[in-house]
Amino acid sequence: MTFQDLNLNTPLYNALHDLGFTTPTPIQAEAFNVVSSGTDIIGIAQTGTGKTFAYMLPILKNLKFSTQETPRILILVPTRELVVQVVEEIEKLTKYINTRVLGVYGGTNINTQKQAIADGVDILVATPGRLYDLALTRVLQLKHIQKLVIDEVDVMLDLGFRHQLINIFDLLPEKRQNIMFSATMTDDVDDLINDFFKAPERVSIAVSGTPLENITQTHYNVPNFYTKANLLKHLLSDVDTFNKVLVFVSNKKMADRLFENLDSRFHDELCVIHSNKTQNYRLRSIEQFRNGDNRILVATDVMARGLDIDNISHVINFDTPNYPENYMHRIGRTGRAERKGDAILFSTENELEHVESIEGLMQMQITVLELPETVEISTELIEEERPQIKERNNPAKRDENIGAAFHEKAEKNQKENLGGSYKFKIAAKYKKPKTRGDKNYNRRNKKK
């Protein structure tokens, strides 16, 4: 199949020709007619398979020119970086179409975004938080939304956006088309579909655990963080082979720690991205890596999810992800557009159980390599790797072996709490009240 088989209009064909695209990816081919039909759709496909074009091509084909100021198409994505990327992709497709596209996200001046919305917009790309803030100001009206697209919905739910999504649904017209794309199907995603989608049609391309055939995967068993860092430096010293490297770490703290460790040696070649960095810093890091100004990008999972960066030679998993699906998302950053790619996994002894989960999901073994002899094996440990010292007198660190803080009562103290019935039990036992001067008792005795 080629794009000619999709019966697109001339402006779209001209844009695709400028981009050099002739053949749709499997998800683009499968989703086109379903999105065009107006029915709700659930698209499941690996990252890097062209999901943005999969929903935008049929939407743009059927989107007629309008002068109305309120948006007709709403696209929700989890991160600010994805807003920028999706807007750029849409602008490429609408090069020859008179369509107004706007991206809004947090961390920037909301008044500027209000003014841009007031000027009129056809397609609005937004993060859930900023979209809801704008809707509450009533500058943004969502009553004319015809199609709602939720991209990377699994990440959105992982980031805790479910409550905001539900609030946004309440502001949208009931009569609309729901389009959702995700790399994985989770219980949370299923619940969202059951609550808000109407008889959706599912389009699934490749199981999330299926490894991409053009990616070579290898694995190193490494004892600790500093040995991992030494191995990474050894690999990165081969500039010709490792010419564009995306290094994944588990969290923000680890990203900063690794960046500082590598900075002295690879200062001009290195950049980092995570959610604690400013918006300008993050966008600049991505752009420098994309353009080749920096050949090494250290990133956390959420920040790099869905980012479209071409020609990544290697994905290095500095930390083994807890969930095997995340490993698939990571390695999907390389080997794109039918190019060859390499994925390398570093694992300590504590991470080996996660490696087994990954191999179980893929139903294949990852080739294990020996550490190069020139790599120094460090004995220094970071805070998380050091054995925990139990301090008996430190209330902040409870020793699990210490018993409960109470003892059995002495026998003389094990008395029954008789409550309000106490005086009646005493009366039954002694045949007279304990309290002196009980009028009723004395009156009864006098009558006798």
In this predicted model, what pLDDT tens digit does every residue of 326-348 receive, in sequence order?
788 788 888 876 678 999 999 99
Residue 297's pLDDT is: 95
CA separation, residue 439 to residues 92, 424, 444, 445, 448 (Å):
100, 16, 9, 10, 14
Domain endpoint, select from 181, 205, 229: 205
Mean pLDDT of all residues in 389-397: 61
Q: Average model confidence (pLDDT) for the chain?
A: 85
Instruction: State the average pLDDT over residues 185-203.
Output: 81
For residue 448, tell me if it sits in a domain: no
267 shares its domain with 353: yes
pLDDT of residue 178: 93
* Domain that includes residue 75, residue range: 3-205
CA distance 122 to 74: 9
Residue 444 lies in a domain: no
Model confidence pLDDT, tens digit, residues 270-321: 999 887 887 788 888 988 998 999 999 999 876 666 667 888 999 999 999 8
Task: Report how far residue 207's alpha carbon sits from residue 159's, in angstroms, rounded to the nearest whole number.
Answer: 23
Least confident window among 34-48, 129-143, 358-372: 34-48
Would you place residue 210 in the very low, low, confident or very high pLDDT band (cuts 50, 70, 90)?
Answer: low
Number of domains in the chain: 2
According to the model, what pLDDT value does residue 300 have? 86
* 169-178, 304-313, 347-356: the lowest-pLDDT one: 304-313
Domain membership flag for residue 414: no
Instruction: Say yes or no: 262 and 284 in one domain.
Output: yes
- What's residue 314's pLDDT? 95
Poorest-confidence range of 39-53, 192-206, 221-235, 432-446? 432-446
Averaged pLDDT for residues 130-144:
93
Give strand pairing partners of 104.
Answer: 126
**DSSP category for residue 351:** G
Report yes or no on 441 lying in a domain: no
Contacts within 8 Å (CB) and 24+ apart, 349-358: 349/221, 349/223, 351/319, 351/320, 352/221, 354/320, 354/321, 354/322, 354/324, 355/219, 355/320, 357/323, 357/324, 358/320, 358/321, 358/324, 358/327
Both 127 and 260 in one domain: the answer is: no
Q: Are residues 7 and 121 in the same domain?
A: yes
| 364 and 280 both lie in a single domain | yes
Catalogue the E-assigned strands of 109-194. Answer: 123-126, 147-151, 177-182
Residues 412-431: tens digit of each pLDDT? 666 666 555 556 666 666 66
| C-beta of residue 2 within 8 angstroms of C-beta of residue 22 | yes
State the residue for tokens 């007279």: 432
CATH of the domain at 331: 3.40.50.300
- At 440, the pLDDT band (50, 70, 90 cuts) reads low
If asked whether residues 196 and 248 sit together in one domain, one would say no
Tokens in use for 130?
A: 């900023």
According to the model, what pLDDT value does residue 413 have? 66
Compute the residue count for the chain: 448
| pLDDT surpasses 60 at 20 | yes
Q: Determine the Cα–Cα distance for residues 297 and 291; give it in Å rounded to an integer.
A: 12
**Residue labelled with tokens 């054995």:** 387
Q: What is the pLDDT of residues 86-122, one digit of tens each?
A: 999 999 999 999 999 999 999 889 999 999 999 999 9
Give the C-alpha distances (Å, rounded to integers) separating 117 from 21, 133, 144, 237: 32, 13, 14, 48
